[in-house]
A and B are shown apart, each in its own frame.
Chain A
Amino acid sequence: MRLATYLAKRIGYTIFVLLGLSILIFTLARVLPGDPARMALSPRAPEWAIEKLREQLRLNEPLPVQYLYWLRDVFSGSLGESLVTRRDVLTDITEFLPATLELLLFALIFDVAIAIPVGMLAGRKANTWVDNLVRGFAYIGVTIPAFVFAIIFLLVFGYILHIAPVVGRLSPGVVPPPRITGLFTIDSLITGNFSTFVDALSHLILPSLALALGPIAQEARITRASVVENLNKDYILASVSHGLPERLIVLKYLMKPSLIPTVSIMGLDIASLIGWAFLVESIFNWPGMSRYGIIAMLRKDLNAIVGVVMVTGLVFAIANILVDIIVSLLDPRIRMVERAK
Chain B
Amino acid sequence: MVKRSVVAAVVAIVIIAIIIGAVWLTTQIPPTPTPTPTPTPVLKRTLTISFANVPTLDPAVGSDEASSSAFVNLYDTLVYPTKTGEVVPHLAERWDVSPDGLTWTFYLRKGVKFHDGKELTAEDVVFSTKRFVTIGEGYSYLLSPYLEDVRAIDDYTVEFKLKTTFGPFLMALVRLYILNKDLVMKNIKIPGPYGEFGDYGKAWLLTNDAGSGPYKLKEVKLEEYVIFERFEDYWGYFKPNAPDEVKFIGTSEPVTIRTLFARGELDITDQWQPYENLLEMAKLKGAEIVYIPSGGMFYLMIHTKKAPTDDIHFRKAMAYAFDYNTVVEKIFVGTKLAKGPVSAVVPGHDPTVFQYTRDLDKAREELMKSKYYPELEKYEVEYWWIAEVPDEEKVALLFAKNMEEIGIKVKVVKVPWLTVIDGMARPETSPHIVSIFVAPHYLEAGSILESRYHSKSAPTWEQNEWLLDPELDAAIEDAIATLDMKERFAKYAELQHRIVELCPSLFLFDMVERRAYYSYYVDWYAAKGEGVPVLGYFFDLRLIEVFPEKKAELFK
B137 A45 Cβ-Cβ under 8 A: yes
B33 at the interface (CB under 8 A from A): yes
Q: Among residues 200 to 249 in chain B, which have CB atoms less than 8 Å away from a CB atom of chain A?
A: 202-203, 206, 221-225, 247, 249
A151 B34 Cβ-Cβ under 8 A: no
A71 at the interface (CB under 8 A from B): no
From B31, B63, B417, B462, contact of A195 by CB (8 A): B31
A95 at the interface (CB under 8 A from B): yes
A45 B247 Cβ-Cβ under 8 A: no
B460 at the interface (CB under 8 A from A): yes
Query: How many A-B pairs with Cβ below 8 Å?
Result: 168
Q: Identify the interface centre among A86, A87, A154, A284: most chain B CB within 10 Å of its CB.
A: A86
B98 at the interface (CB under 8 A from A): no
Q: Could you mark each residue 155-183 of chain A with 1 if its beta carbon is under 8 Å from any beta carbon of chain B, else 0?
A: 10011001110111011111100000000
B421 A198 Cβ-Cβ under 8 A: no
B15 A39 Cβ-Cβ under 8 A: no
B22 A201 Cβ-Cβ under 8 A: yes
B224 A158 Cβ-Cβ under 8 A: no
6 closest A-B pairs by CB: A49-B136, A173-B33, A34-B418, A202-B26, A199-B31, A33-B422
CB-nearest residue of chain A to B425: A35
B76 to chain A, nearest CB (A): 22
- Taking CB atoms, residues of chain A closer than 8 Å to B19 are 109-110, 113, 205
- Taking CB atoms, residues of chain B closer than 8 Å to A34 are 417-419, 421-422
Q: Among residues 485 to 541 in chain B, which have CB atoms less than 8 Å away from a CB atom of chain A?
A: none
CB-nearest residue of chain A to B28: A198
- Taking CB atoms, residues of chain B closer than 8 Å to A52 are 136, 193
- Taking CB atoms, residues of chain B closer than 8 Å to A117 are 12
Q: Among residues 242 to 268 in chain B, which have CB atoms less than 8 Å away from a CB atom of chain A?
A: 247, 249-251, 253, 255-256, 258-260, 262-263, 265
From B9, B141, B193, B418, contact of A46 by CB (8 A): B141
A205 to B18, CA, bound (A): 12
- Taking CB atoms, residues of chain B closer than 8 Å to A32 are 418
From A56, A154, A168, contact of B259 by CB (8 A): A154
Q: Identify the interface centre among B25, B36, B142: most chain A CB within 10 Å of its CB.
A: B25
Extra A-B contacts (4), CB below 8 Å, given A34-B418, A201-B22: A86-B61, A171-B31, A173-B36, A287-B224
- Taking CB atoms, residues of chain A closer than 8 Å to B53 are 295
From B137, B203, B422, contact of A49 by CB (8 A): B137
Q: Known contacts being A34-B418, A155-B255, is A41 close to B136, with CB within 8 Å? A: yes
A171 B33 Cβ-Cβ under 8 A: yes
Q: List 24 A-B contacts (CB under 8 A).
A: A35-B422, A39-B418, A42-B138, A43-B461, A44-B141, A46-B136, A52-B136, A56-B193, A85-B222, A113-B15, A113-B19, A154-B259, A162-B263, A166-B259, A166-B263, A167-B260, A171-B31, A173-B33, A195-B29, A195-B31, A195-B32, A205-B23, A283-B255, A295-B53
Q: Known contacts being A174-B31, A287-B221, is A164 close to B12, with CB within 8 Å? A: no
- Taking CB atoms, residues of chain B closer than 8 Å to A300 are 418
B38 at the interface (CB under 8 A from A): no
B255 A248 Cβ-Cβ under 8 A: no
Q: Identify the interface centre among B9, B22, B138: most chain A CB within 10 Å of its CB.
A: B22
Q: Could you mark each residue 19-51 of chain B with 1 if its beta carbon is under 8 Å from any beta carbon of chain A, else 0?
A: 100110111010111101000000000000000
- Taking CB atoms, residues of chain A closer than 8 Å to B1 are 252
B352 at the interface (CB under 8 A from A): no
CB-nearest residue of chain A to B23: A205
What residues of chain B have their CB less than 8 Å away from a CB belonging to chain A? 1-2, 5, 9, 12, 15-16, 19, 22-23, 25-27, 29, 31-34, 36, 53, 58, 61, 63, 135-142, 144-145, 193, 202-203, 206, 221-225, 247, 249-251, 253, 255-256, 258-260, 262-263, 265, 416-419, 421-423, 441, 451, 457, 460-462
A202 to chain B, nearest CB (A): 4
Q: Known contacts being A42-B139, A43-B460, is A87 close to B421, with CB within 8 Å? A: no
A239 at the interface (CB under 8 A from B): no
CB-nearest residue of chain A to B29: A198
From B34, B203, B251, B441, contact of A282 by CB (8 A): B251
A202 B22 Cβ-Cβ under 8 A: yes
- Taking CB atoms, residues of chain A closer than 8 Å to B419 are 33-34
A196 at the interface (CB under 8 A from B): yes
CB-nearest residue of chain B to A193: B34
A129 at the interface (CB under 8 A from B): no
A175 to B227, CA, bound (A): 13
A86 B144 Cβ-Cβ under 8 A: no
A251 at the interface (CB under 8 A from B): yes
CB-nearest residue of chain A to B138: A42
Q: Known contacts being A42-B138, A85-B222, A168-B225, is A173 close to B34, with CB within 8 Å? A: yes
CB-nearest residue of chain A to B12: A113
CB-nearest residue of chain A to B137: A41
- Taking CB atoms, residues of chain A closer than 8 Å to B202 are 86
- Taking CB atoms, residues of chain A closer than 8 Å to B224 are 168, 285, 287
A75 at the interface (CB under 8 A from B): no
A162 to B265, CA, bound (A): 11
A292 at the interface (CB under 8 A from B): yes
B27 to chain A, nearest CB (A): 5
A205 to B250, CA, bound (A): 22
A87 B206 Cβ-Cβ under 8 A: yes
Q: Could you mark each residue 55-87 of chain A with 1 if its beta carbon is under 8 Å from any beta carbon of chain B, else 0?
A: 010000000000000000000000000000111
CB-nearest residue of chain B to A88: B203
A193 to B491, CA, bound (A): 67
B418 A154 Cβ-Cβ under 8 A: no
A337 to chain B, nearest CB (A): 25
A34 to B424, CA, bound (A): 10
- Taking CB atoms, residues of chain B closer than 8 Å to A42 are 63, 137-139, 141
A118 to B480, CA, bound (A): 73
- Taking CB atoms, residues of chain B closer than 8 Å to A151 are 255
A316 at the interface (CB under 8 A from B): no
- Taking CB atoms, residues of chain A closer than 8 Å to B221 are 168, 287
CB-nearest residue of chain A to B193: A56
CB-nearest residue of chain B to A175: B34
A292 B223 Cβ-Cβ under 8 A: yes
A278 at the interface (CB under 8 A from B): no
A291 B5 Cβ-Cβ under 8 A: no
A322 to B16, CA, bound (A): 23
Q: Among residues 190 to 220 in chain A, which have CB atoms less than 8 Å away from a CB atom of chain B?
A: 193, 195-196, 198-199, 201-202, 205
From A109, A173, A205, A292, contact of B15 by CB (8 A): A109
A172 to B40, CA, bound (A): 13
A285 B31 Cβ-Cβ under 8 A: no
B34 A196 Cβ-Cβ under 8 A: yes
Q: Known contacts being A46-B136, A87-B203, A159-B262, is A198 close to B418, with CB within 8 Å? A: no
- Taking CB atoms, residues of chain A closer than 8 Å to B135 are 49
A26 at the interface (CB under 8 A from B): no
CB-nearest residue of chain A to B31: A199
A287 to B1, CA, bound (A): 44
A96 to chain B, nearest CB (A): 7
From A96, A163, A248, A284, contact of B27 by CB (8 A): A163
Q: Identify the interface centre among B36, B142, B222: most chain A CB within 10 Å of its CB.
A: B222
- Taking CB atoms, residues of chain A closer than 8 Å to B251 are 167, 282, 285
A162 to B26, CA, bound (A): 12
- Taking CB atoms, residues of chain B closer than 8 Å to A205 are 19, 22-23, 26
- Taking CB atoms, residues of chain B closer than 8 Å to A43 are 460-462
- Taking CB atoms, residues of chain A closer than 8 Å to B258 are 159
A282 to B259, CA, bound (A): 14
Q: Among residues 18 to 35 in chain A, which have CB atoms less than 8 Å away from a CB atom of chain B?
A: 32-35
A193 to B144, CA, bound (A): 52
CB-nearest residue of chain A to B258: A159
A34 to B419, CA, bound (A): 6
A78 to B156, CA, bound (A): 44
A113 B16 Cβ-Cβ under 8 A: yes
From B29, B249, B418, contact of A167 by CB (8 A): B249
A70 to chain B, nearest CB (A): 19
